[in-house]
Amino acid sequence: MGRRAVVIVLDGVGVGGAPDAAEFGDEGANTLGNTARAVGGLEVPNLQALGLGNIAEIAGVEPARSPRASHGLMVELSAAKATLVGHWEMMGIISEEPLPTYPEGFPEWIVERFERETGRKVLGNRPASGTQIIEELGPEQERTGAWIVYTSADSVFQVAAHTGVIPLEELYEACGKAHRMLIGEGKILVERVIARPFHGSPGAYERENENRHDYGIPPPGETYLDRIEAAGHEVVAVGKINDLFDGKGITRHLPAPPDDAAKVDAVLESLGSVGSGLVFANLVDFDAKYGHRRDPEGMAGNLRRFDGRVPELLNALTREDILIITADHGNDPTYRGTDHTRERVPLLVVGGGTPRDLGVRRGFADIGATVAEWLGAERNSLPGESLLS
């Protein structure tokens, strides 16, 4: 007791070089490397000092002579490049079979049932960028009151609604019905149902990311979060972590603040109150605002802003704390399309011993194993090798 671990996931900030990238159609994708080249070099001196430049070639980020963090790369083992799957793997669940995706849109029976159960028609029903399909179909939704339904390369059923036309509560109720239909009746047809509220007018629609809600699959087995909670520790979820694990193994949920800066604030506030346990945070703007929108300048700017907060995070740690900074997949803002990219992810570990080169780790579960060992929780039977050993 008295020890704490902080895991911060920079959603979508991969480092390229996944050995199976070609199988996903993602050869050459490299979120950090290609972003750096696109903007003439990254300015992240604090991450550089931790050893970010020691794990890969990144323009503007030179290798540190004496990195302040243990540093390495992780290769995902799960058969997907999705947020939920990446976070599950970190906490000990490897998804060997990909979940269904819908490159041609959802089958007619799904659409018809959703329309029947919600009392509204459906627009869209195809893979799309969320911001693009809202701009395209938003005026028609305002005129007709229909849902905008779309998917992506991931296994997701996304429902967008203008909150001036369809109240937020009705959107949530509709997504709950979709969740029961697609996940809760025995056969899992999607990984997540996502409520995507927005407001504004044609040409100036804005998504309400703070009111987004994910309705996911409960983890199919025990995770490191369950083990940490069973050991008597707090498990604090910041942002969409609670949704990704369906609340399982979470003792306190801090709902998604409006941006990544506010999420870092929430992590710091948690460190002021948590006596022992895990603070687990997802910084989604890297993915949602810049990766999917293919905005390398925005990605670089958000990296710079996060880098500016690193000293605050380090100063909030005690000798009984560890901090892990990583990612769940790639989302290269210079790559074709608008979807996630299959990449290795960075791994920076502050605390827990003398900084060292961690090499390339097979699987993300080393994170859960590390946190469990640090907090004295049981590790038997779950995958992963502690980085403290």
196-217 pLDDT tens trace: 999 999 999 999 988 989 898 8
Instruction: Kindly indicate the confidence band of residue 184, based on its pLDDT and cuts at 50, 70 and 90.
Output: confident
pLDDT of residue 188: 86
Would you say 329 is a known binding-site residue? yes
257 band by pLDDT with thresholds 50, 70 and 90: confident
In the predicted model, what is the mean pLDDT of residues 69-94?
Answer: 96
340 is an annotated ligand-binding site residue: yes
Q: Which amino acid is at 13?
A: V
Q: What is the pLDDT of residue 1?
A: 63
Q: Write down the pTM of the prediction.
A: 0.89
Residue 154, CA distances (Å) to 108, 195, 221, 249, 342 in order: 19, 15, 22, 25, 12
The predicted structure's pLDDT at residue 380: 86
Q: In 10 A of CB 315, how many CB atoms?
A: 8
**pLDDT tens for residues 120-152?**
999 999 999 898 999 999 999 999 999 999 998
The CATH T-level fold of domain 4-93+219-375 is Alkaline Phosphatase, subunit A (3.40.720)
The amino acid occupying position 343 is E
CA-CA distance, 371 to 377, in Å (whole number)?
Answer: 8
Confidence of residue 164 (pLDDT cuts 50, 70, 90): very high
What is the mean pLDDT of the segment spanning 47-67?
Answer: 98
Distance spanning both ends of the chain, measured CA to CA: 20
- Predicted confidence at residue 389, as pLDDT, reads 64
Asked whether the beta carbons of 369 and 356 are under 8 A apart, the reply is no
Confidence of residue 282 (pLDDT cuts 50, 70, 90): very high
Binding residue per annotation — 287? yes
Q: Do domains 4-93+219-375 and 108-215 have the same CATH topology?
A: no
Instruction: Please indicate if the annotation marks 328 as binding a ligand.
Output: yes
CB 388 within 8 A of CB 354: no
Pick the residue with more confidence: 209 or 287?
287
Going by their DSSP bridges, the two strands 252-254 and 234-238 should be labelled as parallel
C-alpha span between 188 and 127 (Å, rounded): 19
| Residue 12 in tokens | 């979508």
Write down the domain spans for the chain: 4-93+219-375, 108-215
The percentage of residues in the chain with a pLDDT greater than 70, rounded to a whole number, is 99
Class of CATH domain 108-215:
alpha beta
What average pLDDT score do residues 208-228 get?
A: 92
- Tokens matching residue 235: 């498990």
Name beta bridge partners: 149.
124, 159
Question: Hey, which residues does 151 pair with through a beta bridge?
Answer: 127
**Longest pairwise C-alpha distance within the chain:** 63
What is the rounded distance in angstroms from the CA atom of residue 179 to the CA atom of residue 194? 9
pLDDT at 256 > cutoff 80: no
